[in-house]
Structure formats: structure tokens, C-alpha cells
Structure 1
Amino acid sequence: MPDNIKPLTSVFIALLKSKRGWGFLTINLAQLALYALISSYSAQANDQLAEKVGPGRADSGKELSDSERCQECHGSDGISHDVNVPNHAGQNAGYLIKQLKDFQSGDRIHDTMNRMAEDLSETDRVDIAAYFAGQPVMQGTGSTSKSYVRNLFENGNPDRQLKPCTECHGPNGKGMLHDGMEVPVIGGQKRAYLRRQLANWKSGERQNSPDGLMNKIAHLLTDQEIEDLADYISGL
């Protein structure tokens, strides 16, 4: 046995021989287990944040989103002050990048955003997305009291072939990686914005979801369900 280990071994044996030692070891083993658990959760959270933020440089994205006037509408912290303008706080970077590309290409039409996105380089898009994705995720302040809406959100309606929103958007609508696609955070999003997007998916005015999935889903919703879902989701 190495000489530098022998003193530690002697202390350990002495502790084992005393009742007080057992208590000391039990407490410290519990502390070590707690520290390990906290470290594991911390590492997992860091990995999830890195995946959400993507490869972009958030510091450059902060400057760009200011100089390109993104923050003017979407807020410096990604929380919009206009009920019609979406929050970007904690949004998945991959989703934001796709939307900026779609605004550039014309796959998604919005008079203001088509102009704002037209001169952005690929690096610009990635960095801006990283900045907003790294902000604390948007949170709602309450939701509708209509009980059927929560069931529709969480379980869908199999009889109508209507999938639950959580299947793609995750618990509480906080987004997830689904079939290799970064699905957006919708929980806590602006109510008016949610309502308008669902209506646009339903009418076909917006058509840039993969395989037209959102058009298919929104087409199955009634106008009242769209109103109530927008109310419920915005509160999550």
C-alpha cells in the first residue's frame, strides 16, 4: 500500500470501529450522494441548454439582435411588449434559425420580417438564435378555466384523429426535439400570436411546417377550440 494512503486508511478504520464514526460516515455518504445527484442534474441541464442554444455565439447574437432591431419588437430579454409580436425567450435556436431562413426565402410571409431577415448571413441567423434561446424560457401567468381544453392539449381527440399538442411540443408546451426536428416552445407565448398562427395554419396562409403537419392539425380544430387553446397555452 502506498505510504500516502496509509494514514487515510487508518482514519477510515478508526471511524468504522466507533458508533460516532458510523454516524459520521452515514451523514457524509448521504451528502456525497446528494452532491452527485445535484451534479448530475446540473450536467443534464447544461447539456439541454447547449442543445437549445446550438452552435451560435450568444454574445455576438446580442449585439446583432440590437443593431438589426430584433430587440425593438421582441424585447432585449426576448419578451415582447406587443401582444401581437411573439416572445423569443428560451425558444429553441433551431426553430428560430428555420423561421429566419423561411422569411428570407419567402416560404413564410410577413411584410416586416421578410425585410428584416433578407440581409442576414447564416452566421447572423445562428448567433441571433443563440442569444434568444439562451434567455430564461417564456412563462405564462395562468390559463383558461375550461376543463376540456387541457384534455385537448394533453390528450388530443383520437376520434377526430387529432394528436395531443404535448406529443410534439412537450410537457407544458416548452418545446422538444421530435423526430430530429426542433419543435418550438409555445407555452407562455403571446395569446394573440398563438391564435393568429393557428388560424393561419388552418386557412393555409401559413404553410412552412414540416410535411404540412400544423396545417393538418389546425384544419381539424374548430374556431372556438383555436380561441380556447390560444388562451390555455399562453398561460402555461
Structure 2
Amino acid sequence: MKTILTLMAAIWLLMGARSGAAQPAKAQEKAAVCVGCHGEAGKGVTPLFPKLAGQNPKYLSAQLRAFKHQSRSVPAMNAVAAGLSEEDIATLSAYFAAQLPQAEAVESSPEGEAIYRFGIAARKVPACAACHGPQGQGNAPAGFPRVQGQYAAYTIKALSDYAQGLRGENTPMRAIAARLNEAEMKAVAAYIAGLK
């Protein structure tokens, strides 16, 4: 009887291992279309498009849904997301969240660090770290994105889009970004790019 139970347990573990191995392969297959803009495993190709590796899955899912339903307008992403099912969105979000992110090699930005860590009280700009974490890891339960190691050029564009009302209709980021000038956006973006 003990031998039969051991054999059944071994078969169950083997089956579990095979189905577990199939999941990453399926996710990688789904993510293949993303490689051209976001790089292998979402690690980045060009500063025009964000790095996805290590991003919070709740945030990724929300963005993919926004692209799918066109409440966030980026034509290429709207087209890609249009055919995604909820299962696809969950699979892609989990896949990119599981990848290891990498920081950029950038010069230190004391002004950017001050804004990131302490904000600008005189203009009611809160510390970025309050929502995005001390090392830029984000806040997964709240759905706040990981910003750590993100391309500076992409962060500047995101902040500019928020400030101009082109993104984040129901988010505090619109008001926060609108209180930053261009030099401050560049400084904080440079600091974020080097976070590890």
C-alpha cells in the first residue's frame, strides 16, 4: 500500500511539474508580440517604450484593460490589446511581473533624489516614495507601478502626459505632475532610472 501511495504521489508531482512548465511556455509565447517594443522578457529595447520586467501585475492588468477599452490612447497598444482576453491579460501581467528588472547606469541626481524622497512642500508635490516605495518598487496591492530603473525618457514622457491631461483621468498623478516644471521632471526621472 505504501508503494502504491508513493507511486501515486510521484505521478501527481510529475503531472504538476509538467503543467507548471507549460504555463511559463504559454506566457512566453503570448509575450512574443511584446518583444519588439519592450524587449526580451520586458527588459527594454528603447527609451520610447517602458520596461515591463518586474512591474506590478495589478498595474499591468489595469493598463492592458485601459488599452483594450481605449480609455488610454496609444494606437499601437490599443491594437495589440484589442484581442486580449482576461486570461491573456492575467497571463501577460504575471509573466512580466516575474521577470527580473534592471536599472540604468546614470549619473546621480541630487535634485531628483530630493523630489523623489521628500517632494516639494511649497507646491504640494508629495514625495514619489510615498506611493512608489523608497526604492521605486511600487505598491502592488494599491496598483501603484514599479518605477525603479525605468528609462528616464519614458518617465519624462509619462509625467508630461499626466501634466497635460493626456493620461490618468482619475489619478492623483495628473495634479502632481502638473506642479512639476520640465527641469524637475528630468531630475526625478534621472534619479528613478538609477534606482536599484
TM-score, length of structure 1 as denominator length:
0.69
Mapped to 1, the partners of 2:107 and 2:148 lie a distance apart of: 10
Of 33, 49, 71, the match for 1:107: 71
Alpha-carbon contact 2:118-2:126 (below 8 Å) kept = yes
The count of aligned residue pairs is: 173
Q: Which residue number corresponds to residue 158 of structure 1?
A: 121
Q: What CA distance in whole angstroms lies between the structure 1 residues aligned with 2:27 and 2:146?
A: 19
Question: Which residues of structure 1 form unaligned runs of 5+?
Answer: 1-56
For 2:90 and 2:118, the matched residues in 1 are separated by 34
Kindly indicate whether the alpha-carbon contact (under 8 Å) linking 2:111 and 2:184 is maintained by their aligned counterparts in 1: no
The answer to whether 1:65 aligns with 2:58 is no
**Equivalent residue in structure 2 for 1:93, among 57, 63, 70:** 57
Equivalence for 2:133 = 170
| Cα deviation digits, residues 110-167 of structure 1 (max 9, x gap) | 010000000000000000111110011232323434x222111101122221100000
Amino acid at match of 2:194: G
Match for residue 18 of structure 1? none
Q: What amino acid does structure 2 have at the position aligned with 1:128?
A: L
Is contact 2:37-2:44 (8 Å) kept? yes
Q: Is 2:42 the counterpart of 1:78?
A: yes
* Separation of aligned partners in 2, 1:107 and 1:101: 8
Contact persistence 1:104–1:118 (CA under 8 A): yes
TM-score between the two structures when normalised by the length of structure 2: 0.83
**Alignment counterpart, residue 95 of structure 2, candidates 83, 107, 131:** 131
Write out aligned runs for 1:1-236 (5 A): 57-66=23-32, 69-145=33-109, 147-177=110-140, 180-208=141-169, 211-236=170-195
Cα deviation for residue 107 of structure 1 reads 1.1
CA distance in 1, matches of 2:144, 2:104: 18
- Match of 1:86, SS state, is coil
User: Cα distance, 1:232 vs. partner?
Assistant: 1.5
| 8 Å contact from structure 1 (residues 143, 233) kept in 2 | no
Q: Deviations over 1:20-39 (max 9, x none)?
A: xxxxxxxxxxxxxxxxxxxx
Contact 1:106/1:114, CA 8 A, preserved across alignment: yes
| Alpha-carbon distance between aligned partners in 2 of 1:138 and 1:104, rounded to the nearest angstrom | 28
Structure 2 CA distance, aligned partners of 1:165 and 1:100? 23
- Structure with higher Rg: it is 1
Residues 107 and 207 of structure 1 are in contact (CA less than 8 Å); yes or no, is this contact kept in structure 2?
no
Identity, in percent, stands at 33
RMSD: 1.4
Distance in 2 separating the partners of 1:155 and 1:114 = 36
